Amino acid sequence: MGRALSNNLINMGIKEAVQEVLRDMEINYNVIEDEEPDAGLGNGGLGRLAACFLDSLATLDYPGHGYGIRYEYGMFEQHIEDGYQVEYPDNWLKYRDPWEIRRSDLAVTVVFGGHVNVRRDENGRDHFSVEGGEVVTATPYDMPIIGYDTKTVNTLRLWEATSPNGFDLQLFNNMEYTKAVERQTSAENISRVLYPNDSGPSGKALRLKQQYFFTSASLQDLIRAYVAKYGKDFSHFAELHVIQLNDTHPVVAIPELMRIFLDVYSLQWDEAWDIVTKTFAYTNHTILAEALEKWPIDIFQGLLPRIYQIVEEINRRFLIELREKYPSDYQRHDSMSIISHGMIYMAWLAIHGSFSVNGVAALHTEILKTQELRNWAELYPHKFNNKTNGVTQRRWLLCANPALSDFITEKIGHGWEKDLSKLKGLEKFADDSAAQQQFLDIKRANKQKLAEYLKVTQNEFLDPDSIFDVQIKRLHEYKRQLLNILHIMYLYNKIIEDPSFDMPARTFIFGAKAASGYRRAKTIIKLINTVAERINNDRRVKGKLRVVFVENYRVSVAEKIFPASDVSEQISTAGKEASGTGNMKFMLNGALTLGTMDGANIEIVEEAGAENAFIFGLTAEAIAKIEEEHSYVPQKYLDRNPGLAKVISQLVDGTYDPTGRLFKELHDSLVYGIEGQRPDVYYVLADFDAYVEAQEKVAHAYLDSKNWAKMALLNIARAGKFSSDRTIEDYVRDIWKLKKVTF
Ligand code: 8GP
């Protein structure tokens, strides 16, 4: 979510008034603003997308609310020590959150473990209940989601876990202090900390507990409100609710809603399943196979015995359907079974239990349908649809870039704040020399501001007249920060070898957190910092090349970086980035995309025009073909480009690390393939030459500043599609069928 203060004041239309009052009181607004910690309750793109959706829902007057966990510790605080990432707890609630309202009146309980008790009644119907087990109290805290220029305030309801029984006084009196609070600690651990994983697997039982905890609490919350109004006739439930499952993490809600209907309200199976499958819709956010969550049966069954029974029954009935449809296709039965090989496949459960399945950009949805989820798209073609992501222009332009916002309003008037397609009106200024100069001046000032910020926070020196070439996103091999830094090493060699080599001065800016258990990603951070240290202290490249790693990248820092960026690095291996949303924030702030034909980049280029972006590299199709033919030979690329070969050998020849060991893993993973992987899984070497060429085009284009401004203005003018308002309208029309609230 990031910070709330400025966003809320702007959405309420009172920021200027508040600032004026503070000025009278001789209080600096910015100092107050900087006191608010980011709510770091998500990992990356998926979480921030949800935050943009909430803003759009409220702004468009739709009754759409969010549910989640009130993590005591959010996304970790990243320090860079000796070039390495070191994680510290992010204690964002140290002073409580002034925006939250504790609703102890709405607390519910959630049960883990225990055993299932069956009682058969006089009509022969079995009644199931769970006995024993750990009881946990879920208390909601509400965060207001304030719409822009409207009266709608929706809710983000976050659950906190505690023990209903407090500590054990008996044990305490016996001086067994640790044991006395065990129950309490165990419950509180559920909402203690956000798992730092982004897309990779994490098989921790505590994570499953978190998932069940917040989904069960949220469903109980919905059901209570429904029953209060409609009684126990659930025939209107699906009409009145859609639950959009944000990836597989909340998918355990499907059997949980079945449990509530069957065990608490005594509905028949078919009746309950009919409501459930009309209520849930599922969004997939990544095609990385390892990200499709699966749970070992023993863990799942131990923690959620009744839910496991229900999943078994869902699967039993599903397999009957499947066998009817594909009588002897055993391989298909096996690969689609929700339970198989000792595991429960949450994505399969999601697709089977939902009426809609969507990807987050056109290419991504296509890949889901034709590759990753092909069997499912064949079985349920009507469920599959695309919803290309978007971002809220209120936070990412109006709030983050006031100077550019004023410029836009001066040119086309207000209205774009709630209808981003209005930006089209800027197109006619793209060729206007005065407008171009105004844009360049605004960009220059924003770069200056970022430079000042990084001077104060990290003692970095940035030259605002250099190209700010920026890659800010989670650190992942598929996102290829490695390709970026290898190119920087290459450029560095080139300048040293040929001091007369002329190019515009460049500042390469990185911001990225690596999952704490993702060793190779952390090594890439160390490499970036090692190269930065070397380059920034080498007088031979002074004034030409600089590399900056922004520590502890997060929403509030992103808000300072996007407005100051010239080049947006979107260089993932084609087919791997589901959508990307940073790419849209750059576009909106007049940075030019340097990217592969991946995720939403494709749609960005479609809108902006290929001539207003720098596109390079293998396409997803080409890569799919190479993979089918097993024809990738990375060595070929080293043989034909000595400059690349040199950079790769510099990873191990002592240039950057005297021991030669630090980056050996990176080197070997590219050249030989290690740990059972083939070499260069992400086609860094294959795309290197094309990337160098695209970077040369960037440098060349930047020299013509007026034309650069024109390209940037056209990007902004054509960014309308990438408002999350548009995305929300797509969801509303095709999936949610919501009506606006009226006043
Ligand atoms: C991200 C995708 O990587 C990104 O391309 C997309 O724009 C974004 O979702 C929003 O749709 N995926 C994740 O953040 C993700 O999969 N994270 C969860 C597994 C933790």
Q: Is 204 a catalytic residue?
A: no
Q: Is 526 a catalytic residue?
A: no
Single out the catalytic residue among 70, 259, 285, 352. 285
pLDDT of residue 202 exceeding 90, the answer is no
Q: What is the pLDDT of residue 40?
A: 87
DSSP collapsed to 3 states, 129-190: EEECCEEEEEEEEEEEEECCCCCCEEEEEEEEEECCCCCCHHHHHCCCHHHHCHHHHHHHHC
Residues 6+ apart with CB under 8 A from 488: 508, 531, 535, 545, 547
Q: Output 703-706 pairs: Cβ under 8 A, ≥24 positions apart.
A: 703/504, 705/440, 706/433, 706/436, 706/437
Single out the catalytic residue among 473, 487, 513, 576. 473
Q: Is 285 a catalytic residue?
A: yes
pLDDT of residue 199 exceeding 70, the answer is no
DSSP structure class, residue 255: H
How far does residue 49's CA lie from ligand 1's centre (Å)?
9
pLDDT band for position 287 (cuts 50, 70, 90)? confident
Residue (of 441, 411, 435) closest to 424 by Cα position? 411
Quickly list DSSP for 579-637: --SHHHHHHHTTPEEEE-S-TTHHHHHHHH-GGGSEE-S--HHHHHHHHHHT---THHH
Instruction: Compute the distance between CA of residue 380 and CA of residue 327 in angstroms, rounded to an integer.
Output: 17
Residues 6+ apart with CB under 8 A from 364: 284, 287, 386, 578, 579, 599
pLDDT band for position 362 (cuts 50, 70, 90)? very high
| DSSP β-bridge partners for residue 161 | 138
Mean pLDDT along residues 559-585: 98
Q: Is 382 a catalytic residue?
A: no
Instruction: Compute the distance between CA of residue 158 and CA of residue 191 in angstroms, rounded to an integer.
Output: 10
660: left (phi over 0), alpha (psi -120 to 50) or beta: left
DSSP structure class, residue 578: S
Instruction: Compute the distance between CA of residue 704 and CA of residue 714 in angstroms, rounded to an integer.
Output: 16
How far does residue 363's CA lie from ligand 1's centre (Å)?
15
Residue (of 525, 582, 593, 588) closest to 555 by Cα position? 582
Q: What is the pLDDT of residue 195?
A: 87
599 pocket-lining for ligand 1 (C-beta < 6 Å): yes
Q: What is the pLDDT of residue 638?
A: 97
Q: Which helix (H) or strand (E) holds 69?
A: strand 66-69
Nearest atom, ligand 1, residue 580 CA: 7
pLDDT of residue 200 exceeding 80, the answer is no
How far does residue 473's CA lie from ligand 1's centre (Å)?
11
Tokens for 627?
A: 């993979």
Residue-wise pLDDT tens digits, 288-341: 877 889 999 999 999 999 999 999 999 999 999 999 999 999 999 999 999 999
Q: What is the pLDDT of residue 507?
A: 98
DSSP structure class, residue 677: P
Q: What is the pLDDT of residue 470?
A: 98
Single out the catalytic residue among 215, 581, 596, 655. 581
Contact indicator for 336, 376 with CB cutoff of 8 Å = yes
Q: Is 422 a catalytic residue?
A: no
Residue-wise pLDDT tens digits, 530-557: 999 999 999 999 999 999 999 999 999 9
Residue (of 424, 390, 418) closest to 10 by Cα position? 418
Mean pLDDT along residues 62-77: 97
What angle do the packed helices 519-536 and 664-671 form, to 10 degrees? 110
How far does residue 45's CA lie from ligand 1's centre (Å)?
5
For 86, the 3-state DSSP assignment is strand
pTM of the model: 0.98
Mean pLDDT along residues 441-451: 98
139 pocket-lining for ligand 1 (C-beta < 6 Å): no
Residue (of 398, 560, 582, 449) closest to 8 by Cα position? 398
pLDDT band for position 476 (cuts 50, 70, 90)? very high
Q: Is 581 a catalytic residue?
A: yes
pLDDT band for position 158 (cuts 50, 70, 90)? very high
What angle do the packed helices 684-703 and 481-497 form, to 10 degrees? 60
pLDDT band for position 456 (cuts 50, 70, 90)? very high
How far does residue 371's CA lie from ligand 1's centre (Å)?
18
Q: Amino acid letter at 227?
A: V
Instruction: Compute the distance between CA of residue 196 and CA of residue 475 in angstroms, rounded to an integer.
Output: 12
Q: Output 453-461 pairs: Cβ under 8 A, ≥24 positions apart.
A: 453/560, 454/548, 454/550, 457/551, 458/548, 458/550, 458/551, 460/548, 461/546
75 pocket-lining for ligand 1 (C-beta < 6 Å): no
Which residue puts its alpha carbon closest to atom 16 of ligand 1?
199
Tokens for 96?
A: 């409580």
What is the distance in angstroms between the CA of the first residue and the CA of the last residue of the chain? 27
At residue 467's C-alpha, the angle toward residues 466 and 468, to 5°, is: 110
Nearest atom, ligand 1, residue 44 CA: 14
pLDDT of residue 743 exceeding 90, the answer is no
Instruction: Compute the distance between CA of residue 562 and CA of residue 380 in angstroms, rounded to an integer.
Output: 40
Residues 6+ apart with CB under 8 A from 537: none
Q: Given ligand 1 and candidates 285, 479, 480, which is best to mutate, with the most ligand atoms within 8 Å of its CB? A: 285
Nearest atom, ligand 1, residue 599 CA: 5
Contact indicator for 359, 578 with CB cutoff of 8 Å = yes
